[in-house]
Amino acid sequence: MIHSRSKTFVDQTQSLFYQCISCIHFQQKHTFVPNKNENSKTRATRPRRNHQQPHRAATRKPPKEAIPFLTDLKGIRDPDDALSLFHEYLQMGSKHDYPSYASLIYKLARAHDFDAVETVLGYIQDYNIRCKEIIFIALMQHYGKARLVDKAIEVFYRMTSFECVRTLQSLNTILNVLVENGRLCDAKRMFDGSKEMGFRPNSISFNILIKGRLERGEWDEACKLFDEMLNRRVQPSVVTYNSLIGFLCRNGDVEKAKGLVEDMVSKGKYPNAVTYALLMEGLCSQGEYNEAKKMMFDMAYRGCKPKLVNFGVLMSDLGKRGKIEEAKSLLSEMKKRRYKPDVVTYNILINYLCKAGRAAEAYKVFIEMHVGGCEANAATYRMMVDGFCLVEDFEGSLKVLSAMLTSGHCPRLETFCCLIVGLLKHGKTDNACFVLEEMEKRKMRFDKKAWEALIRDACVENECAYELVDELIFAL
């Protein structure tokens, strides 16, 4: 019966679900702030050096006055509301300057409301607002992430019409957008025409194209670009070598990668922590964990102090092989050596604990992060929510979700679906509705297939869910 419903029915069902939430008062915030002991009386009790010494003129500039529009804009999520606010200030006689236009464009671009972006760009030209290059670089990047590559190219060529000087940084940005979207031929064509545009490609330009070739597995083409660098007297950077070394290690040729390191040193470029991390990954992939660990501790003798990325390689390998206790021991060893773990390091351990069904232990690590002053990122929260869902601890998952939403991050659609089904199965209808409401706030909607799966799973053992669905269908 569900499968015969149309998409219209699905949309109406979801809308009615959201209308059922008006009485929900579930708000749970988890804000982790490291303790800071501040002594406000220190300045007041400090003895004066000389009572008769004349006061020096203050050298600090007075703080800039806050721009009311920017202050109001920070609290707005909806791009339509942001644009409306912009017009409201115009109607009140406010004259927007570059910071206001730039902030509005950033907000609209992050929300992928590119029609509104084009509207604002039109205003910029109409009012002759002088723009900085950085705003167009950001726009190209956002268009690239949205797979609107042609729009990114258009922005690159339109920059000069805004009286903005286009530099090599813009060229490298558009080259990277093209490569990341699989348009390597277009990137090479633009690269070859850089001289006509007044640019001389640098090592970053070459690195972008080399990265594109290597991602396609085109080792010979990447080497040709490397040789072209040398012919044009562009010095390869450590990043250039790391790209080549990483490719070799991922393809099991660690010995050739080591040879490339020696060539690198002979040319006056010294390997960094990332170089060694790539070699260590190659060794771990061949089952040579002990050799990788030895390499990490030998780094210091070669003039390169180990960094978190090197410990991360070892922790990841231990996690993949199910040796989580050893990974936890390695984390303790890091702290003993006075390395302060970052969010990436903690995420490695949290990820493998969650995958092993040890969400409660992962949550302890999660708390340890905050106590130690390390702020969780979106990936941390997502792994924790999914980890609790995996072991069907939906209350724990909901607790982390609340903290996640408070922090400004958002789960994936699949996570929302899993959490809602679990809450409904456990009779937590109000909590499921809360989650749906949070989805609606972020304009995240299930498609027909996801709705069918959600309702089918939710109705297996839950009479409350049956009754709610019956009410919704009857309301139609």
Residues 349-358 have pLDDT tens digits of 999 999 999 9
d(C-alpha 211, C-alpha 221), whole Å? 11
d(C-alpha 364, C-alpha 418), whole Å? 23
Tens digit of each residue's pLDDT (9 = 90 or more) over 153-197: 999 999 999 889 999 999 999 999 999 999 999 999 999 999 999
Q: What is the pLDDT of residue 79?
A: 78
Share of the chain above pLDDT 90, in %: 56
5 has pLDDT over 70: no
d(C-alpha 322, C-alpha 360), whole Å? 17
Average pLDDT over residues 198-212: 96
d(C-alpha 210, C-alpha 175), whole Å? 11
What Rg do the C-alpha atoms of the chain give, in angstroms?
Answer: 28
Residue 295: CB partners within 8 Å, gap ≥ 6? 276, 279, 280, 283
Mean pLDDT, the chain, whole residue set: 83
Tens digit of each residue's pLDDT (9 = 90 or more) over 337-352: 999 999 999 999 999 9
Average pLDDT over residues 428-436: 86
Choice between 31 and 469, residue whose per-residue pLDDT is larger: 469
Tens digit of each residue's pLDDT (9 = 90 or more) over 7-32: 444 444 454 444 443 333 333 333 33
Choice between 70 and 305, residue whose per-residue pLDDT is larger: 305
Give residue for tokens 């990841």: 316
Average pLDDT over residues 58-69: 64
Average pLDDT over residues 354-380: 94
Average pLDDT over residues 324-335: 94
